Structure formats: structure tokens, C-alpha cells
Structure 1
Amino acid sequence: MERWRDAKKAGSKRNPPGRWRVRWYGPDGKDKALTFAKLPQAEAEKNAITARLDKGSYRDPQSGKAAFKAVAEEWYGSLRKQGRTTKNDYRELLDNYVIPKWGDWQVSSMRWEDVSAWLTDLCEQPGKRGRKLGPARVTKTYRVGGMVMKRAVISNRIAASPFHDHDLPVKIEDDEHVYLTHEQLERLAEGAGDQWRLVLVLGYCGIRWAEASAIKVGRLNLETRRIRVVQNYTDVKGVLALGPVKNHEKRSVPLPRSFADELAELTKGKGANDLLFTAPEGGPLRYANFRNRIFDPAVKVAGLADLGITPHKLRHTAASLAIAAGADVKVVQLMLGHKSAAMTLDVYGHLWPDRLDEVADALDAGRSAALSKRTRTST
């Protein structure tokens, strides 16, 4: 106090030192302390800390001062089940949009209205490539920030995350799915040269490009007419690597009998661990090469250039042909590797017969029977 008084006389605007100190041991066994100018303030803090320790909701007041970027790196380093592509995408969003905004902020100082203003900027300002971010990209950027702050909550740095209950931009769904007929699919395959079988696998089995390029001979069962899908290739910055399939949904997909026999030719002279589909020079196929050199020219040869068909959109063709053949929603879900049947219905529900007339006819029959019975009773 004497030093403070001397400093005060010299013109210092520093607040007087606290006269009351609250000391306690946190759950980690370390000594903690806070100083207060007045006794009631110290007593209130003591009671609050005691209550939180008793309830198990205690948080070290200093932990909320952690910088967002430190928590972000902890979160990113803890990712275990995500694939290379997903982790690379998270890294890009962190480095380009999330950390530049929040990096030096203390996690306890971030408020809901701050996040809301940031979302508005993401929607309106140009992104790193000079164009506005699409609704899906804005939402994913927001989700990444939210996952970082969720870690801050779980690690007891803050009580609640400000990344909740925000209005997110609406994604305009692409209703222009391309559904090829059997004849169109066969024409497309004919135009693909030596890779015609790969086009048919995409169009009849509905598996993703990354999954199809990773099929090994040993996972093709010609007797049961099944392809076992357990891996895919990911291309991150030009480096191909085998990894688990999306959503970790390992599955078996069916093959038409005639097509299974045609695939058998690709297995000749290959071992079980060899790739079924390979590049002309050997090794795995790369999407860009396949698309530019084989698929897009085949689309033009087949007369389908105006449909906007891509290798990925052949999944829609596979779904539509399966549904037309009588497949139920669970079969289509398994073929496509969707996480749930609800997702399959959201995308392809309109392709199944709505059966509304059947319901109306059944209701008519029930009502007619009831009216007939009522007439007899009245008579």
C-alpha cells in the first residue's frame, strides 16, 4: 500500500492493490489465488469456487484466457478418424478463415454477436480466391470454428460456446440430377475405350470414383457377383494414398451377371492385391487424367454433352436404374454407401412410386364398406 501511495502521488493511475486474497487448490492439485480490493468480493468468489468444486463444474479462471489458435491446434492434433481429404480441408479452412479472425482472441472473450458478425462477413466478403464463398463453404467454415470451441467447453476453458443457434446460409440444392437410361449408359461406355468397364461399374454399382479406382482383384467375387468396397484413394496436393471409405461404410455392391463375366477379363494375370482398374502406364488412375482424357471425350462421342454428366453423377444413374428395377431404399442405401436410409430418401425419394392412388383406393374401399353397412342398418 505504501508503494501504491507513493506511486499515486507521482501520478500513477494504477488501481490500489487488493487487500483480500482467496487461495484454493484446483482439481489438478495446483495452488490458485485471486486478489480483491474488498472483503465481500473475496467472500463471494470463495463461495462460488467452493460450489463449483463441490459440483464438479469448476473451471480455472485463467484457462479461459487461452488463445483460440492454441485451442485450434489442440483440436486439430486430436483428430483421429478423419481421412486425409477431410483433415486437409479442415486445415485449409483454419488457416484461411478461422484463425486469421479468431487466432489471438481469448476463448472466454468470444461472444455470440461476434460470431454472428463474422458469419455475415463470410457470406458477403470475397474469399481467398477472389470469389464469394458458397453457402456450403460458409457453413463448413462455421462448423470448424464450432468444433474448436466445443473442445474449449469440454476442456473446461469456457462454460458454453458462442457457436450455436446462428442462422446459416441456405444451400441451393441441385435438383438437376442426371439419370441415364441403359442405352445412354452403354453408349457412354463404348466411347470410353479400354476403360468402358470402369464406366459401367460407376453407372451400375453407384460407387464413388475414389472407391472404384481402389478396387483390388481380390475384392471382386465373380461367383457371388459382388464387389467388396473397403478402401478409396485420396488425392491431397497431388499425393495419392489409400484410406478408409467415406463414413467408414464398408459394403458389398451387386453386379449384373453379364457385366460380372465381362469384368473377369480384367483379372487375368493379376494377383489378389493388384488393382482392377489401372492407368495405361500402370498404377492407380488419377481423376483428372481419367476425366480429361477418357470420360469427357466419351460424353461427347455418346451425344450426352448437354446433360452435364460427370463420373460422380453416374451414382444418380445407378440409383435410378436400381429403383426402376424394384430395389427398396435399404438396398439403394447399401449400394451408395449412404450413412442412413433417410439420406437416401432425401436425395432419391421422388424416384419411388408415391402409391398415393393405392392409399386413396384403399380409403374408398373402407368408406364404401362403412356406407354399405350403415345403409343396411338404416333399412
Structure 2
Amino acid sequence: MAKAWIVDRWQRIDPDTGRKTKSPQQGRGSRWRVDWYEDKADGTKALRSRSFKVKSGIGSAEEFVTSIDNSMRAGIYSSPEDSRRKFRLVADEFLQSKKSIKDSYRYRLERDLKTWVNPKWGGRAIGSITRHEIESWVNDLQTGTAPFDYTRGNVSLSPDGLSASSIKGIVVLTGSIFKYAMRHNWTTANPVDGVDRPKATKKPMVILGHAEVERLAASAKQLTEDQTDRALVLTLGYVGLRINEALALQVGKVDLDARRATIMQTWSQGATRYLGTPKSGKARTVSLPGFLVAELRPLVEGQPPDAFVFRAARGGDIHESNWRGRVWAKAVTLAGLESKKPTPHDLRHAAASMMIASGADVKVVQLQLGHARATETLDVYAHLWPDHLDVVSDAVELARAAALRASEPPTDRGQARAKT
């Protein structure tokens, strides 16, 4: 591919004398023009041009020639037409390229793109967005001043600043779209690279004890007079299921005699609510405590295999958000746990802490909770295992004493025995 070159539009070369003469264009429009040849997909070359008001300095013809030459040598050249592609169109192609992601994850990407990303960048040329603009946008997301597109009915909701975890998801999505554009040579840089994001502050883990879980279960039943709500709380607090895994559990996947349940599906939210695979993407078998068998038996006996274990009063499935408002929030108050503000997911933490306190190793806890890797379990619950620091330091002290005794000279050891 040929290099770019600069043309003075206000001068022309006399074909007879070879001398520079004034062009009829002198004084009209930008004086400097950069020309270069671009390789096309069909193997031909196309002459490209771009005009500039100044020859040297920032935003000049010479600066553009340098950038064109460098991008050609590095193999990252992008056509001006490509760099002028609208961000919204590139984002749509990026989403279409994602063939193997779960529907719930796709829904989240589409939601963030519609609500936060496109309102800011959708109409911009993909190659015109700068890192400084991205940094300013991240700050606006944090302060709640970023543009957005979110309405409920006819009322537009103005959000407060987003959480650090929400900002992370939005910024990562934006960076992925730029990476997709770079792979297709539609832009030469990813302005998201290296942009600082606010650090997430980890919410203190709420861990309930046996008595607190029991109070919650009793309160749930007192509120609704339904064994289903009591059994659901106990299942979450002692088995460690995610709430939508528990609500998707079917009678045919429970073996009360063997005290086992097979977790094969979960409720997920896409464009609509649907039954999908668990978070890890794999089915797992979990153990049920003996006392829970008696709690679950009335819910499964006489029911068809495809019936949900935890059913609404009129039959059918229970919707998590409805159950939170109808039962959970009121049960927390009735149980006197308002100060701790537990969520249904905190019952999963309670189950993990009870397993660990009872001597379960990390692999057992991993399998019961359905973590993809044991390292994930340790990342979340390492602080709950006994540290055994005194055992280690005592063993080191004993080893030191033995080594020092062995290193004493023979005469010293004899004298020591004689004195004894």
C-alpha cells in the first residue's frame, strides 16, 4: 500500500515548464490535501483524499500523513468511511456476533446498551470517540449526570449515580464493542483501555445462625399459613440453593429417601422470564438434611414429576420478586431481623457457613453451592474456615527445637547429659 502524500491545492505545476504556478483554487477552501491509496477487498486500489487548513502542528496534514503511514505499517489501517461508522450500528453487529452466551446475559447487555451506552455514543462515529470523553462519561455515570434512556410508563426515572459494579459492566461492554471494531479495522484504538473505574466497596456479608433461620421460617409460615414458605426458607438456609434454583426445582428431581435433589434449571430473565441452565451451566446433585425431608414431603407427595416443589397458593410457579414483597420482607420484620437487612441470597451464605462450621472441606462446599471452581468458593468464604495459625507456629517451634538439638557438638551434648 502506497504512503500518503501532501498536495498544495493553491499551487499547480505547469506541464510545459515544470514551474509552480497559482491554482485557480487559491484562497478557496482548505489549502492542504492528503492523498493516499487504499487497498480494496476486490484487490483494486482506491484513491482517498482529506483536506486540512494547516500543514504543520496539531490537526495538520503532516500529522495525518504520519498517522496514516504508521497505521499502514502496523497493519491496523482503517478506512475513513469505516471510522465514520455509527457506534450504534457497530454495537448491533457486536451483539449479533455473540452466538453462545446465555439469554439472560444477552438481555443484560441489550439493557445496558439501550439504557446507558447508546444514549451517549450511539450517534457518534466509532473512530471519533476519545479516551478523555470516555473518562468524563465514567465520572458522569458515577455522579448520575450521564444521559440515559429508561422510562416506566410515561414517567422518566432520573437515576442517582450508579454503583461501581454497574459502571464496571457498562464500561466493559463499551470496551468490548471497540475491540470488535478494531478486529474489523473499523477503528485503530480502543479509548476504553486504561480508563479508571470506581472501585467497588464490598458489602459486608450477612450470615444468619441456626436460630435466626428458624425464626425466619416460622415467621414466613405465620404470615401466609402455608408450609411452602417455611420449607422454602429452610431449603435456602440449609441447602444453599440460589432462590431461582429453588423456585425452579421440580418434584421429579427430588429423591427424599436418598436425601438428594438434582438442580438442572433455574428461572432466568431475558426478554421474558424463562427456565434456563444453572449459573455454572451444569447440573449438580445436592444433599438434603434429614429434618428437611419431613418439611418437603407434604409438598411432593402425590404431585406429578413436572410440578414445582414450591408452588403458589393457586398452583404454578412462584415469581421471586413477588415472593420477596409478599413474604420475605414481612418475615424479616416479624423475625426481628430488620437491623441485619438480610436478603434471600444471604440464606445461601448461611448454608455455606453452617457447612464450614460443621467441618466440610472446600470441595464439598463448592459442589453443594454449584460454584464452577473451588477457587470461587474460597474467594467468597475463605474467611469462614479456621485459620490454624497456632497449629502452624507450634509445629515450626517444635521443628526448630529438634533442629537445634541435632546441631549441638557431641561434647556439648555429653556435657548436657552429665549435668542432667
Alignment TM-score, normalising by the size of structure 2 = 0.77
Shift of 1:73: 1.1
CA distance in 1: counterparts of 2:340 and 2:36, whole angstroms: 74
Per the alignment, residue 257 of structure 1 pairs with 290
- What secondary structure does 2:286 align onto? strand
Aligned counterpart, 2:152: none
- What residue in structure 2 maps to residue 183 of structure 1? 211
- Tell me the equivalent position of 2:202: 173
2:46 corresponds to: 32
1:323 maps to 2:335 = no
Letter in 2 for 1:298: A
Of all paired residues, the percent bearing the same amino acid is 33
SS of the aligned residue for 1:327 comes to coil
Q: Supply the distance in 2 between the matched residues of 1:245 and 1:108 (Cα, whole angstroms).
A: 39
Whether the 8 Å CA contact 1:21–1:36 is kept in 2: the answer is no
Q: Aligned pair in 2 of structure 1 residues 107, 326: CA closer, same or farther (>3 Å)?
A: same
Shift, 1:210, TM fit: 1.2
What's the offset of the Cα at 1:363?
0.1
**Structure 2 residue aligned with 1:22:** 37
2-side partners of 1:137 and 1:147: how far apart? 16
- Equivalent position SS for 2:339: helix
Query: Which amino acid counterpart does residue 276 of structure 2 have in structure 1?
Result: G
Is the Cα contact below 8 Å between 2:40 and 2:46 reproduced in 1?
Answer: yes
The 2-side partners of 1:280 and 1:30 are apart by 71
Tell me if structure 2 keeps the 8 A contact 1:192–1:298.
Answer: yes
RMSD: 3.4
Indicate yes or no: 2:163 matched with 1:131: no
Aligned position for 2:89: 70
Q: Distance in 2 between matches of 1:80 and 1:24?
A: 31
- Structure 2 Cα separation of the partners of residues 223 and 29 of structure 1: 71
Note closer, same or farther for the CA distance 1:341–1:6 as it changes in structure 2 (3 Å cut): same
The aligned residue for residue 363 of structure 1 is 396
Residue in 2 that maps onto 1:146: 175
- How far residue 271 of structure 1 moved from its aligned partner, in angstroms, is 1.9
For the residue of structure 2 that corresponds to 1:353, the secondary structure is: coil
CA distance in 1, matches of 2:193, 2:67: 29
Higher relative contact order (CA 8 A, sep 6+): 1
* Partner Cα distance (1:44, 1:283) in 2: 67
Structure 1 equivalent of residue 98 of structure 2 = 79
Shift of 1:249: 4.0
Shift of 1:192: 2.0
The count of residues paired between Structure 1 and Structure 2 equals 370
Name the amino acid aligned to 2:304.
G
Give the Cα separation in 1 of the matches to 2:246 and 2:385: 27
d(CA) in 2 for partners of 1:223, 1:310? 31
**For the Cα contact (< 8 Å) 2:247–2:318, is it kept in 1?**
yes
Q: Secondary structure at the match of 1:375?
A: coil
2:113 is the counterpart of 1:98: no
Output the CA distance in 1 between the equivalents of 2:201 and 2:370. Answer: 23
1:114-138 superposed Cα distances (whole Å, 9 cap, x missing partner): 2222222222344653311121122
Distance in structure 1 (CA, Å) of the matches to 2:354 and 2:242? 16
For normalisation by structure 1, the TM-score amounts to 0.85
* 1:198-347 matches, cutoff 5 A: 198-235=232-269, 239-347=272-380
Aligned partner of 2:127 in structure 1 is: 108
Counterpart contact for 1:178–1:313, Cα < 8 Å: yes
Q: Is 1:188–1:199's contact at 8 Å kept on the other side of the alignment?
A: yes
CA distance in 2, matches of 1:246, 1:123: 28
Give yes or no for contact 1:126–1:133 (8 Å, CA) kept in 2: no
Corresponding residue of 1:164: 193
Task: Report the Cα offset of residue 319 of structure 1.
Answer: 0.6
Distance 1:353 1:339 in 2: 23
Q: What is the alpha-carbon distance in structure 2 between the residues aligned to residue 219 and residue 144 of structure 1?
A: 37
**Contact conserved, 2:77 with 2:188, CA < 8 A, in 1?**
no
Instruction: Please identify the structure whose Cα radius of gyration is greater.
Output: 2
After superposition, the Cα gap between the structure-2 partners of 1:251 and 1:31, relative to the gap in structure 1 and judged at 3 Å, is farther
Structure 1 residues 44 and 362, CA gap change in structure 2 (3 angstroms): closer
- CA displacement 1:222-274 (0-9 Å, x = unmatched): 3432222221113467x431122224243222111332343233222222222
Judge which range, 213-222 or 154-163, deviates more: 154-163
2:298, 2:78 → 1: CA distance?
A: 65
Q: Distance between the aligned counterparts of 1:46 and 1:105, measured in 2? A: 22
Deviation of 1:309 (Å): 1.8
Alignment check: 8 A CA contact 1:206 1:319 kept: yes
Structure 1 unpaired stretches of 5+: none
- Corresponding residue of 1:8: 25
Separation in 2, partners of 1:119, 1:155:
26
